Structure 1
Amino acid sequence: MVPATTRAALTAVALGTLVLLSGVGASATVAQQPPAVDRPTHDGQLTTASVNDSTVPDGEEIVERFEQRLVSLETVVMRYEMTMRFGNRTTTTERKLWVDRENDRIRTETETNRTDLTTVRNETAIVTYDAESNQVRRIERSSETTPKTLIGPLVNGSELTYEGRERVGGEPTYRLDAEPTNSAGSGSIDVTLWLDQETYFPTRIATVTETGGDEVTTTIRIRNVTLNEPIPDDRFTIDVPKDADRREHSVPDRSTYDSLPALRENTARSVPEPDIPDAYTFEEGVVTTGADGDSVSLQYAAGDESFRVVTRPATGYDLGEVEALEEVDIGNETGYYTEYEYGGATTAVLVLPCENATHSIYGDLSKDASIDIAESFGCE
């Protein structure tokens, strides 16, 4: 299990990327043309624009034009600067990005005083070359196990709300708030976009993620944008020196089963036999085979509610150091519990580290029910 603070940071980055380049079907929640807003922001560079302009489209039309812009994207070339703040730590990364949506290809270049990294994702592989260490890593792609480009839905959808007009760096923009409709239990997330008034493409994206009392803010500033212009094919290849250190990696195999007996026959991992609450039934199981062994995920459902029991190789994390997690007794073992509020629902997460495996239980459960399920199989 990824520690809570790291998970929050990853969520913020993923959502920022989602609203930038995904093709999600977003539903619009738009009041009548609201006044321009002057909200405090973390960088303090926003100023209010005048609203006395009858030529400005109304909020619903602005949301529709943004959705149309996402749908119409074929290629994107841009630079962006991403700043992440967590506690007293601030990191800033600047990258160049090329996206070919039609052919499912991406290239990124990251260059700092310590990093010179190029990653290309094309039809057959993901290749990363680190010029500083002269090392290249290659992961073969497969349509079954590798998701599509950033255009693909990292989150199933967002509800967009038009908030008004603001100036960002002296340039007029439209401001939208995006509420993810599926947070995967990752806590409270606020996403804000500022759109160029001519192209309806974001010039800035900000996310604020709160989980377990921790807050991570991520700001993406976008510039030098070119949309729907041809990108040469050689942009999606890397000329790697012959003497580079080459490392091959494979994508984990993933198999889905609709019965527990079939799953057990196809994994070397010991599969838990949890005592589940009344009304819940087994829905599906997934076996993922990686370099460290099999991971098994069992999903149970009762109507619209569901939970998962996941067993994976021991992680080695000291979860006792994560402040967001509460220690709980699981028989003679120690488990770690937390829960997240999102969209009016509570997601429970319980982790039970054992010597040879780590078990996780998460979903629409109470704390007591989560503990009861963990106690039913324990560290067998």
Structure 2
Amino acid sequence: MSLRRTTAVLSIAVLLLTAGCLGPLGLNGDDADDGPDETDALSADELVEKAHEAEAEIESIHGVQTTTIDDADGVESATFEIWHRSPSETRMEAVELDDGLGDPEIMVMNGSTTWTYDGETNQAMRMDLGFDFGEAGEAMDEFTDDLSAQLYENMTAERAGTDTIADRDVTIVELTADGGDSMYESMTLWIDDETYYPLKQVAVTDLLGSEMTTTIEFEEFSPNVEIDDERFVFEAPDGVEIIDFDDLTNEEFDDAESANATVPFALPEPEPSESFAFDSAYVSENLQGWSASLGYENETGNTLSVSVADGPHEDPIGGETVQIGDSEATLTSMEGVDYRSVQWSDGDLRYIVSGDVTEETLIEVAESIVDS
């Protein structure tokens, strides 16, 4: 699954599965049962605290929600109809998907089992998480608290007016990074005046030196509605191929030959400098295809990775165009981090050479692959 697809699906799933994750600011507001008519009297910090409580306490949600990814490659959106009841019961069905955000079309989570369905391939994947979110109790609370701290720490909240989302009155709260380490540069919440549930979120992040804006917005929102139990049962369409996640290959090897014998394509034979020695290989399989990674390390601890994957892929975000043999490649680096990569496509395969090495080393290794 590509970065954009992963971002679109997980943005929704994480929002729903980690109910209560908006209490990250270390707020100590009181627990008074303020009514919605008192929204105007609440500070930005109190509104965020109320949103935190609303997400934790809401019984169910039925709505239509759109996730939009806006980055250097353009704008793409995915719209899902969503049913959510308790931390362990969620169903998402695609309403409209842009090509870059095209899977899965259906996701159903019920207890410890999650199903995803890709209509284009008519394949369904069953994943057993090994635990039930709804029965996790204190462990789940601790997880969401930790997630909250990581997502929103070092941010300052301010009220920013009012609006209407999904035909409901909302109050806008802007959160801005205050100079410390924060996952987001900024986050804006549109908080429902009646339930205090956030009906829209806009997050701005810096990804590999390029800005990405993720918007999650309800177009329709019905809280605390009755949802039939059958909604959280996955019924496989006729002729569907069912794949159990546990049956997929996810294996580490001590030699490249064993990894090469496992994947359905030939692995490259890179020629890094003599200072780099082979370390290990890793092979994984999912609904979109296969991927393999060859790892190398030198005596000073620098690492080099050579990865190849089949299936759908997208061009990287940002970066510099370079020529690798007859192939046009993209060279990217992470701002403030000694890490860079070069990637290119050859037919149905995507190659990535990456590591905490110089650009010259990356290009030399990439050229050894293309020329072989």
TM-score, normalised relative to structure 2: 0.61
What's the offset of the Cα at 1:10? 4.2
Gaps of 5+ in 1: 34-51, 130-134
Is the Cα–Cα contact under 8 Å of residues 43 and 159 in structure 2 kept in the other structure?
Answer: no
SS at match of 2:227: coil
Tell me what 2:197 maps to.
Answer: 201
Q: 1:107 to 1:88 in 2, by over 3 A?
A: closer
Tell me what 1:126 maps to.
Answer: 116
What's the offset of the Cα at 1:31? 10
What's the offset of the Cα at 1:22? 4.9
1:248 matches 2:241: yes
Is the Cα–Cα contact under 8 Å of residues 314 and 355 in structure 1 kept in the other structure?
Answer: no
Q: In 2, distance between residues paired with 1:168 and 1:195?
A: 9
Q: Deviations over 1:82-133 (max 9, x none)?
A: 5666799877765431124544542336279xxxx9735243643477xxxx
Tell me what 1:137 maps to.
Answer: 122
Deviates more, 1:302-311 or 1:249-258: 302-311
Q: In 2, distance between residues paired with 1:359 and 1:337?
A: 11
Q: In 1, distance between residues paired with 2:256 and 2:77?
A: 49
SS at match of 1:345: coil
Query: Which of 341, 362, 365 does residue 370 from structure 1 map onto?
Result: 362
1:353 matches 2:342: no
Structure 1 letter corresponding to 2:332: E
Q: In 2, distance between residues paired with 1:311 and 1:275?
A: 16
Q: In 2, distance between residues paired with 1:92 and 1:313?
A: 24
What root-mean-square deviation, in Å, do the aligned CA atoms of Structure 1 and Structure 2 show?
5.4
Q: 1:104 to 1:285 in 2, by over 3 A?
A: farther
Q: Deviations over 1:53-88 (max 9, x none)?
A: 8x63573x6655555655667743333345666799
What's the offset of the Cα at 1:143? 2.8
Q: In 2, distance between residues paired with 1:80 and 1:265?
A: 42
Structure 1 letter corresponding to 2:170: E
Q: 1:30 to 1:314 in 2, by over 3 A?
A: closer
Tell me what 1:334 maps to.
Answer: 327
Query: Which of 18, 22, 42 does residue 23 from structure 1 map onto?
Result: 18
Alignment length, in residue pairs? Answer: 327
What's the offset of the Cα at 1:204? 0.9
What's the offset of the Cα at 1:306? 5.4
1:164 matches 2:158: yes
Q: Deviations over 1:182-223 (max 9, x none)?
A: 98xxxx975433333664431211245677998765533324
Q: In 1, distance between residues paired with 2:217 and 2:27?
A: 27
Q: 1:192 to 1:19 in 2, by over 3 A?
A: farther
Query: Which of 289, 295, 305 does residue 291 from structure 2 map onto?
Result: 295
What's the offset of the Cα at 1:371? 1.3
Tell me what 1:13 maps to.
Answer: 8
Is the Cα–Cα contact under 8 Å of residues 12 and 209 in structure 1 kept in the other structure?
Answer: no
Q: In 2, distance between residues paired with 1:336 and 1:57?
A: 50
Tell me what 2:33 maps to.
Answer: none
Q: 1:292 to 1:86 in 2, by over 3 A?
A: closer
What's the offset of the Cα at 1:256? 2.7
Q: In 1, distance between residues paired with 2:294 and 2:158?
A: 45
The one of the two structures with greater contact order (alpha-carbon pairs below 8 A, sep at least 6) is: 1
Is the Cα–Cα contact under 8 Å of residues 204 and 212 in structure 2 kept in the other structure?
Answer: yes
The percent identity for this pair of structures is: 18
Gaps of 5+ in 2: 30-38, 98-103, 135-139
Is the Cα–Cα contact under 8 Å of residues 16 and 191 in structure 1 kept in the other structure?
Answer: no
SS at match of 2:128: coil
Structure 2 letter corresponding to 1:311: V
Structure 1 letter corresponding to 2:281: G
Structure 1 letter corresponding to 2:42: V
What's the offset of the Cα at 1:296? 0.7
Higher helix share: 2
What's the offset of the Cα at 1:336? 0.9
Q: Deviations over 1:310-330 (max 9, x none)?
A: 12248798x7xx995544344
